[in-house]
Amino acid sequence: MRNFNLWAVLLLLPLLAGCGKTATTITTDVDKELTGKWQLEKVIEENDTINKPSGKNGLYDVSLTFKEKGELEATSSTNYLTGFYETAQLNAIHLGGDGTEREETAWGNAFVNALPNVNIYDLKSNNRLVLFYNNNSQLIFNRVQ
């Protein structure tokens, strides 16, 4: 009986050792298409279209960078944000994170206020990304990298 217990422990040891490991994130084809830097060019809210203001020193450069394994970086007009993204079937997306809290320009506010409400994305063939929020409002990006 003593030999049986020893063999049972030896056989189960690899299984027990594997229980503490974390799961590896699998990158989907959609994640690969999103990966890279995207610059905000236009915001559409209800029937109002707001184009990126022209400005000096990159003050109005608002961007999202989708990294591998669901990591997300964003820059608004005055703040830097880090977080995560998750994609699902039917172009569903969830964004989340936190960042600095300096006063924003109106352009930066449009981005920062919309970001938590984004729930659908559409990748266009011309290197454009549209993020939908609050029914049919849109953040429209061009691929930078």
Residues 86 and 72 sit within 8 Å (Cβ to Cβ): no
In the chain, domain spans? 25-143
Q: What is the pLDDT along the chain (145 residues), one digit of tens a residue?
A: 444 333 333 333 333 333 333 333 334 455 568 899 999 999 999 889 989 988 777 778 899 999 988 889 998 888 888 888 888 777 788 777 666 666 788 888 888 888 889 999 999 888 999 999 998 899 999 999 7
Q: What is the pLDDT of residue 98?
A: 63
Q: In sequence order, what are the residues at sequence separation of 6 or more whose Cβ sits closer than 8 angstroms to the Cβ of residue 30?
A: 87, 123
Length of the chain: 145
Q: What is the pLDDT of residue 84?
A: 87
Domain 25-143 class, CATH top level: mainly beta
SS3 61: coil
